[in-house]
């Protein structure tokens, strides 16, 4: 048996990453070892329902959608997510994985596009970053840093240089909604000529904090 605890499966527009705007099926798994202070999916820390991998794939297939994102919580906290990712890729889906960057990504199917966080000091979980993951990323993957203020920005800028992040893959800087004015972050990026992509969460602009969007 290959079961996973699922919080929700829903169809929406991708709100982040290089696939922003594409109609996408989201598979949100339950559980996360982190407690970021700005987390907007705390409802996925517990609850949900157990589902067989085949059932999840059938539900995803019912939407007749090319793009699929497996998210959380922290998807890699459930070991059965690895065969799920394989099954989704085998079914022909363009599959992405959203992960906190705190767990090993070595065994993720190489066909999957990984969107990996690097946690800033403002998240409260900076010490959980698994820096070894950087060596495992490919050009098709992405690194995301969520910025809560100027201190976070300066820290992120330092990591960008120290680890050569932009040479590894595309780097995304996002402001924490309600804590940092998007225009301020955009101005800082332009002033410092950083080789990063500024992004806002499209789904929040369209639908606010409505779950399942």
- Residue 1 in this model has a pLDDT that exceeds 80: no
- For 185, residues 6+ apart whose C-beta sits below 8 A from its C-beta are 147, 153, 173, 174, 175, 198
Task: At 20, give phi and psi (nearest 5°).
Answer: -55, 135
Rg of the chain over Cα atoms, rounded to whole angstroms, equals 17
Distance (Å, whole) CA 24 – CA 67:
5
Confidence of residue 139 (pLDDT cuts 50, 70, 90): very high
Inter-residue contact 13 to 202 (CB < 8 Å): yes
In this structure, is residue 213 part of a structural domain?
no
**What is the number of H-type helices and E-type strands within the chain?**
6, 9
Please write the tens of the pLDDT for every residue from 172-183: 999 998 899 999
Q: What is the CATH number of the domain that holds 109?
A: 3.20.20.70
pLDDT higher than threshold 60 for residue 211: no
pLDDT of residue 57 exceeding 60: yes
- Residue 134, in any domain of the structure: yes
Structural domain span for residue 45? 3-207
Do residues 51 and 65 lie in contact, with contact meaning Cβ atoms separated by under 8 Å? no
Select the more confidently predicted residue: 209 or 101: 101
Task: State residue 44's pLDDT score.
Answer: 93
**Does 199 fall in a domain?**
yes
Q: What is the mean pLDDT of the chain?
A: 95
Residue 77 lies in a domain: yes
In a domain, 96, yes or no: yes
Q: How many structural domains are present in the chain?
A: 1
Give domain status of residue 26, yes or no. yes
Top pLDDT among 205 and 159 is at 159
Q: Is residue 130 domain-resident?
A: yes
Q: Is the overall model pTM greater than 0.75, yes or no?
A: yes
Instruction: Confirm whether 82 is domain-assigned.
Output: yes
């Amino acid at each position: 048996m290959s079961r996973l605890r699922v919080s929700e499966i829903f169809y929406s527009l991708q709100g982040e990453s290089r696939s922003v705007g594409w109609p996408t099926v989201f598979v949100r798994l339950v559980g996360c070892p982190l407690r970021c202070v700005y987390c907007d999916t705390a409802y996925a820390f517990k609850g949900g329902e157990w589902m067989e991998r085949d059932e999840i794939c059938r539900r995803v297939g019912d939407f007749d959608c090319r793009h699929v994102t497996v998210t959380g919580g922290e998807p890699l906290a459930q070991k059965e997510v690895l065969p799920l990712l394989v099954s989704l890729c085998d079914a022909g889906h363009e599959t992405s994985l959203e992960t906190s960057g705190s767990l090993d990504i070595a065994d993720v199917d190489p066909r999957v596009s990984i969107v990996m966080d690097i946690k800033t000091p403002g998240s409260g979980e900076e010490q959980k970053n698994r820096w070894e993951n950087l060596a495992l990323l490919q050009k098709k993957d992405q690194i995301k840093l969520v910025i809560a203020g100027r201190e976070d920005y300066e820290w992120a800028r330092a990591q960008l240089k120290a680890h050569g992040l932009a040479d590894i893959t595309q780097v995304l800087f996002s402001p924490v909604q309600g804590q940092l004015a998007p225009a301020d972050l955009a101005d800082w990026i332009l002033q410092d000529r950083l080789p990063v992509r500024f992004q806002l969460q499209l789904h929040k602009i369209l639908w606010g904090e409505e779950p399942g969007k």
